[in-house]
């Protein structure tokens, strides 16, 4: 990911496209994740992508947002979601488990378009609930998801320290 600001160029774009991930996107997805989280996880992503390629249609969705025109090859963001059924006694539901927008393309609706595309994909396979999990102190994600209509759900997460 080019960390130099492309904001003006991006702002001048009136459109972007959200499409299914392709093999050629993986390197840029890995770079964007490393930039956003500060942790490079090449192996994780290669394994995730290999599994993704083997999943049946409708089980897992991996979309990327890219610019159009001059920004044709600029990866603006990605979202990944998966349908999980009956675990924890839950009816089939769509889990959003990864989402990121490049820092210089934020607050321009990219995240919202990714969420909308994922929501539509879940609806298309008759999944009518979407869930995600965020850190309590991640105020950015909290504001974003709340503005997208996500609210506290009926489950709580429990954990136990297993260190000796």
The answer to whether 67 contacts ligand COA (rule: CB under 6 A) is no
Give whichever of 56 and 60 is closer to ligand COA, judged by the CB atom: 60
Among 5, 73, 129, 147, binds ligand COA (CB under 6 A): 147
Alpha carbon distances (Å) from 115 to 4, 37, 47, 72: 26, 19, 24, 21
> Near ligand COA by CB under 6 A, which window of 47-55, 96-104, 120-128, 153-161?
96-104
> Near ligand COA by CB under 6 A, which window of 5-13, 17-25, 45-53, 110-118?
110-118
Give whichever of 129 and 138 is closer to ligand COA, judged by the CB atom: 138
Whose structure tokens read 């990944």?
80
Whose structure tokens read 């770079």?
31
Q: Report the candidate in 9, 29, 162 with the shortest Cα–Cα distance to residue 99.
A: 29
The answer to whether 118 contacts ligand COA (rule: CB under 6 A) is no
Which alpha helices (H) appear in 18-157, and where do they start and end?
26-37, 42-54, 110-124, 139-147
> Near ligand COA by CB under 6 A, which window of 22-30, 119-127, 139-147, 155-163?
139-147
Q: How many residues bind ligand COA (CB under 6 A)?
A: 18
The answer to whether 108 contacts ligand COA (rule: CB under 6 A) is yes
Q: Are 20 and 29 in contact (CB under 8 A)?
A: no
Residues numbered 37 to 66 that lie near ligand COA (CB under 6 A) are: 37
Q: Report the candidate in 18, 16, 110, 91 with the shortest Cα–Cα distance to residue 61.
A: 18
Q: Are 114 and 100 in contact (CB under 8 A)?
A: no
* Residue numbers at the binding site for ligand COA (CB under 6 A): 36-37, 98-101, 106-112, 140-141, 143-144, 147
């Amino acid at each position: 990911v080019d960390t130099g600001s492309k904001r003006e160029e991006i702002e001048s774009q009136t459109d972007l496209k959200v499409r299914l991930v392709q093999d050629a996107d993986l390197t840029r997805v890995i770079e964007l994740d490393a930039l956003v989280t500060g942790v490079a996880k090449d192996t994780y992503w290669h394994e995730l992508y290999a599994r993704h390629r083997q999943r049946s249609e409708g089980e897992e969705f991996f979309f990327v947002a890219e610019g159009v025109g001059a920004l044709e090859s600029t990866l603006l963001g990605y979202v990944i979601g998966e349908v999980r059924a009956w675990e924890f006694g839950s009816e089939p539901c769509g889990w959003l488990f990864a989402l990121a927008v490049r820092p210089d393309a934020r607050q321009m609706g990219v995240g919202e378009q990714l969420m909308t595309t994922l929501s539509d994909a879940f609806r298309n396979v008759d999944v009518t609930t979407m869930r995600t999990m965020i850190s309590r102190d991640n105020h950015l994600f909290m504001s974003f998801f709340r503005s997208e209509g996500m609210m506290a759900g009926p489950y709580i997460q429990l954990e136990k320290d297993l260190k000796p």
